[in-house]
Structure 1
Amino acid sequence: MSGYDVKLSGQAPYLPWAKIKGTYYHWDATTGPNIKGNILGVDIELTPSVSFEFGQENNNTIDATSYGKLTVKLPLGNKQKFTNFAIASKAFKDSSTMDLGALAWVERSNKIMVEGEGNIPTFTGGMFRGLEYQLVTSPNPPHRVWLDRNLGATKVAASSNDSAAYGDHYQWGRAKDGHQSLNSSKATARLSTITADDKFITTFSDWTKVDNNGALRVAAWKDGGSNDICPVGFSVPTNDELHRETLGTTNNNFGVADALSSFLKFPAPGIRSSSDGIYRNVGTILFLWSRTRTAANNNKANSFRIHSGGGSIHPVTVPMA
């Protein structure tokens, strides 16, 4: 059977980090059962370790069969990790023939992140770690762009005690490792690292034995840092950035009602105590972390304490959340 094939390669505009390879195969028509006429396939290489191929296969009876294949070579190559990659199970359920129309991506932004390689687009709103976020622009100069809700919140706050808007409770400088969850387990033993633990540490001294001056955690919470908890292009705000949007707008007379009515729509989740892990002041006080240390030689971070009578900046030992 004679035939020919055509192969193309390039990049897609919404997948600038991915390699795209297209192949078209054609065979001369031949009578008989199960004679394949042509195949059109596209192979998307997300990283050297992960690729996805899909296409359509036609035979001489003009029957069309769609196919799709996800290939993952484990372990992943250097500096590669999964971030929010999923395909709807409907596409593969109870069928030997996959319907490409049933494919559904979790989000259009990057599914596989290659750290340090560049070309990773800044988050523009949508799904992040399974939750929906939109962007809001500050009315205050220099008009920074913020997420429209707390990390981990399922909605924008409608009231100060809107529990669905509370979001996660982080200890300062920590990653999204499970400790920030509402009912995460507790432990009293301090960590010997600044990463990799799912328990909320209850101790007044510090939740880690290392990083005595807080410098490692300041770097870890930056955009792209080792404990980065924000979407690409975003980070936990500095003291100055947070002050400009809160206390700085009212000469420090910025209370819980002001927080809710601001463009950031802050609720008042209270605080999870660093001494016993119990939640206190829920619905009445708002605590906000900044990414700023109080000084270069101590392990205290600036937090904002906002209540009904106004707000203030507190140097807080880092176990607080």
Structure 2
Amino acid sequence: MPASGWRFHRNGELPKIKASAIAALWSRSATGLHSRALFISNDSSIFMDSPRGDGVSVRCIETQAGLVIPLEPKDKETNTILFNGLTYKTLVSPHTGRIWLDRNIGAKRVATSSTDSSAYGGYYKFDEANVCPTGFSVPTEAEMTAETVGADVNNTTTAFTSFLKIPAAGSRIPNGVYDYVGFVVYMWTQTAVGFNGYYFYSSDIRAHFAISDTDYNFSVRCIKD
């Protein structure tokens, strides 16, 4: 599939953009006044709403009715994101309808328990926590609250049993030592307070939000923009 870019509609003109950087293909799926298109970059792939005036490439599949443009996969939990050598799936929140990645950034798999080390993922400082694939971001405090303490997540057990299956990855403190691994969740939001950053904290007895020095290395989970 060539990275042919796409053309967007502006004042009657269709200037070509992103050629040689992104592959884009229409699907037949529609959402309101937009249609769904697949965008593929060097580090990720995602279906997004796109204005129907945009010029996007077309690839056809054969059916009993002849050749047609394919539909976007209906089950959003099966959509895949290829990013930095790992394949993630997307999850639809039962609380907010927002779309999240199914595991921490850098994790080899979805957590099978709160102490699943293969699901811990990477540890990132606050100012380097924008490590999400194209179309996704680190959540704000409000976005993370709606899916955790606002949805009855009150300890590491309920953090794991939630739809996000958050493991207790612990943290890496500034001197490089790993701390509370297997016991506590530390997860960055993108919300800053002065020179500090907000993070989600969960232990075996409570869950809440707190602020931390930005040099600490915590887990990151991404939400769709």
Decide: shared fold, TM above 0.5.
yes
Larger radius of gyration: 1
Report if the CA contact (8 A) 1:259-1:267 is conserved: yes
Per-residue CA distance 1:168-222 (angstroms, 9 max, x = gap): 10000216xxxxxxxxxxxxxxxxxxxxxxxxxxxxxxxxxxxxxxxxxxxxxxx
**Equivalent in the alignment of 1:143:** 97
Per-residue CA distance 1:13-61 (angstroms, 9 max, x = gap): x966169xxxxxxxxxxxxxxxxxxxxxxxxxx966x5xxxxxxxxxxx
Q: In the alignment, residue 100 of structure 2 is paired with which amino acid? A: W
1:134 aligned counterpart, secondary structure:
strand
Percent of aligned pairs with the same amino acid: 33
1:304 aligned counterpart, secondary structure:
strand
RMSD: 3.2
1:259 aligned counterpart, secondary structure:
helix
The 4+ residue runs of structure 1 with deviation greater than 6 A are none
User: Among 218, 241, 251, which residue is 2:143 paired with?
Assistant: 241
**Equivalent in the alignment of 1:308:** 204
2:133 maps to 1:133 = no
**Equivalent in the alignment of 1:262:** 162
Q: In the alignment, residue 132 of structure 2 is paired with which amino acid? A: C
**Equivalent in the alignment of 1:17:** 5
Q: For residues 145 and 127 of structure 2, what CA distance do their matches in structure 1 show? A: 19
Per-residue CA distance 1:93-125 (angstroms, 9 max, x = gap): xxxxxxxxxxxxxxx852459xxxx989xx952
Report if the CA contact (8 A) 1:269-1:283 is conserved: yes
Cα shift at 1:302: 0.7
Which is bigger in relative contact order (C-alpha 8 A, separation at least 6)? 2
Report if the CA contact (8 A) 1:126-1:132 is conserved: yes
Q: In the alignment, residue 184 of structure 2 is paired with which amino acid? A: I
Q: In the alignment, residue 265 of structure 1 is paired with which amino acid? A: K
Q: Which runs of 5+ in 2 are unaligned?
A: 8-16, 23-37, 44-49, 57-75, 218-225
Please, what TM-score do these two structures have when normalized by structure 2? 0.64
Report if the CA contact (8 A) 1:47-1:112 is conserved: no
Q: Which runs of 5+ in 1 are unaligned?
A: 1-11, 20-45, 51-79, 83-107, 176-227
Matches within 5 A, 1:149-188: 149-174=103-128
**Structure 1 residues 126 and 254: alpha-carbon distance in aligned structure 2, compared to 1, 3 A threshold:** same
1:303 aligned counterpart, secondary structure:
strand
Q: For residues 256 and 47 of structure 1, what CA distance do their matches in structure 2 show? A: 43
**Equivalent in the alignment of 1:7:** none
**Equivalent in the alignment of 1:281:** 180
| Equivalent residues, number | 164
Matches within 5 A, 1:210-249: 228-249=130-151
**Structure 1 residues 145 and 299: alpha-carbon distance in aligned structure 2, compared to 1, 3 A threshold:** same
2:40 maps to 1:110 = yes
